[in-house]
Structure 1
Amino acid sequence: MLRIALPNKGSLSEPASAMLHEAGYRQRKDSRELVLVDPENNVEFFFLRPRDIAVYVGSGRLDIGITGRDLLLDSGACAEEILQLGFARSTFRYATLPGTAKDVSEFGGMTVATSFSGLVAKHLADNGVDASVVRLDGAVETAIKLGVAEVIADVVETGTTLRNQGLEIISDPILDSEAVLIRRVGADPDDARVKQFVRRLQGVLVARRYVMMDYDIRAEHVEEAVALTPGLESPTVSPLHNEGWVAVRSMVPRKEAQRIMDDLWEVGARAILVTDIHACRL
């Protein structure tokens, strides 16, 4: 039975559960449920603190897990990323009071406050900076005002919270993070159970990014139309009952669907239909 670690709560939990539901796996109905067996798919899910998932997977106690890239790297666990999942995206940045420093190279002798001490310590070391790191749980933006540190490192979305504290974002991002699927370093890369799980998640990712587009067009305009809808490999083109007309079916990027429909109309396509893709294998 494949043993999988999932986030029990937080920003990773609901999107991860939704993705697995779309992939055909049973998911819990009660958030207090910490272990869930899916006998039809021969899978057992363990709902854990997101920070702990990399440790359990890296130790080999669990086969794979879903967590954040930032949490994986911060843990120092013997685990590796095998699939990007496209949700819970965030950027990790440094911030300080104006005039304190302009770049990470100027942090020497300073103290950096963060909730991700392992990640920050490694980043400073990789840049050859001798600075102290103090770990705080949550609300690190107040650390400078309270005299705990000269610099903070935190997840930044719009930067509004930091500006409200009189801080400015400096230097390049430490890390761009998102939800990822992880496994133990050195695990069997040909494990059929894991490969099947990955294929299902990849199918969900493709289904979310693409839609199916069908349309009719005169045969003499097929090449123009197909240039607009090349599909992942090649579109399907079928003759219609009315002579001189063909039906075309192709996968197109969801975010570009409306523009493509406009362009197809201009080259003579009619009866243009767009439908969702619920699952796929490529």
Structure 2
Amino acid sequence: MLRIALPNKGSLSEPASAMLHEAGYLQRKDARELVLVDPQNNVEFFFLRPRDIAVYVGSGRLDLGITGRDLLLDSGASAEEIMQLGFGRSKFRFATRPGTAKDVSEFGGMTVATSLPGVVAKHLADRGVDAAVVRLDGAVETAVQLGVAEVIADVVETGTTLRNAGLEIISDPILESEAVVVRRIGAERDEPRVTQFLRRLQGVLVARSYVMMDYDIRAEHVDKAIGLTPGLESPTVSPLHNEGWVAVRAMVPRSEAQQIMDDLWEVGARAILVTDIHACRL
């Protein structure tokens, strides 16, 4: 039985469970459940603190896990990233009071407060910067105001929270994170159960990124139309009962669907329909 760790709570929990549900796996109905067996798919799910997942997977106790790239790297566990999942994206950056420093190279002798001390310590060491690192859980932007540190390293989205605390973002991002699938370093790469699990997740990612587009068009305009909708390999073209007309079906990027519909209309396509793709294998 494949044993997989999932986030028990936090920003990754619901998106991870939703993706697995779309992939056909049983998911818990009660957030208090910590272990869930899916007998149909021969999988056992363990709901753990996101920060602990890489440790359990790296130890070999569990086969796979879904956690953040930032937490994987901070853990120092013997685990590696094998698939990006496209949600939970964030940037991890330095911030300090205006005038304190303009670049990481000026942090020497200062103290940096962060919730990811492993990531920050390695980042500073790789750049030859001798600075102390203090771990704080929760909001770290008050660390400068309270005199715990001169610099903080934190997840940044818009930067509004940091600006409200009188801080400014400096230097390039330390890390760009997102939800990832992790496994133990050295684990068998082509293990059939793992391959099947990853294939299902990849199918969900593709289904979320594409839609199916159907339309009718006169045969003499097909070449122009399929130039707009080439599909993944090639579109399906079928003759219609009305002579001189064909039906075309192709997968198109979801983000471009509306523009493609406009362009198809201009080259003579009619009865243009777009439908969601719930699952696929490519």
The answer to whether the superposition gives a TM-score over 0.5 is yes
Large movers: runs of 4+ above 4 Å: none
The corresponding residue for 1:251 is 251
Q: 1:247 is matched by which residue type in structure 2?
A: A
The corresponding residue for 2:27 is 27
Write out aligned runs for 1:194-209 (5 A).
194-209=194-209
The corresponding residue for 2:17 is 17
Deviations 1:85-123 (A, max 9, x none): 011111100000001111111111111000000010011
Distance, in Å, in 2 between the alignment partners of 1:124 and 1:237 is 57
Query: Which sections of structure 2, spanning at least 5 residues, go unmatched?
Result: none
Q: 2:12 is matched by which residue type in structure 1?
A: L
Instruction: Say which SS state the counterpart of residue 71 (structure 2) adopts.
Output: helix
Write out aligned runs for 1:24-63 (5 A).
24-63=24-63
Write out aligned runs for 1:161-200 (5 A).
161-200=161-200
Q: CA deviation at 1:255?
A: 1.1
Write out aligned runs for 1:62-81 (5 A).
62-81=62-81
Q: 2:203 is matched by which residue type in structure 1?
A: G
Distance, in Å, in 2 between the alignment partners of 1:21 and 1:88 is 17
Distance, in Å, in 2 between the alignment partners of 1:95 and 1:25 is 41
Matched, 1:86 2:68: no
The corresponding residue for 1:155 is 155
Distance, in Å, in 2 between the alignment partners of 1:224 and 1:103 is 52
Distance, in Å, in 1 between the alignment partners of 2:188 and 2:257 is 40
TM-score normalized with structure 2 length: 0.99
Instruction: Say which SS state the counterpart of residue 144 (structure 2) adopts.
Output: coil
Q: 1:10 is matched by which residue type in structure 2?
A: G
Q: CA deviation at 1:181?
A: 0.4
Distance, in Å, in 2 between the alignment partners of 1:74 and 1:185 is 16
Query: Which sections of structure 1, spanning at least 5 residues, go unmatched?
Result: none
Distance, in Å, in 2 between the alignment partners of 1:227 and 1:276 is 22
Q: CA deviation at 1:276?
A: 0.4
Write out aligned runs for 1:222-233 (5 A).
222-233=222-233
Distance, in Å, in 2 between the alignment partners of 1:214 and 1:21 is 27
Distance, in Å, in 2 between the alignment partners of 1:231 and 1:147 is 58
Count of matched residue positions in the alignment of Structure 1 and Structure 2: 282
Distance, in Å, in 1 between the alignment partners of 2:154 and 2:230 is 42
The corresponding residue for 1:118 is 118
Instruction: Say which SS state the counterpart of residue 66 (structure 1) adopts.
Output: strand
Distance, in Å, in 2 between the alignment partners of 1:139 and 1:280 is 41
Write out aligned runs for 1:127-142 (5 A).
127-142=127-142
Q: 2:5 is matched by which residue type in structure 1?
A: A
Deviations 1:228-270 (A, max 9, x none): 1111111111111111111110000111111100000000000
Distance, in Å, in 1 between the alignment partners of 2:122 and 2:52 is 19
The corresponding residue for 1:241 is 241
Distance, in Å, in 2 between the alignment partners of 1:265 and 1:45 is 48
Give the share of equivalent positions with the same residue, in percent: 87
TM-score normalized with structure 1 length: 0.99
Distance, in Å, in 2 between the alignment partners of 1:28 and 1:238 is 44
Q: CA deviation at 1:185?
A: 0.4
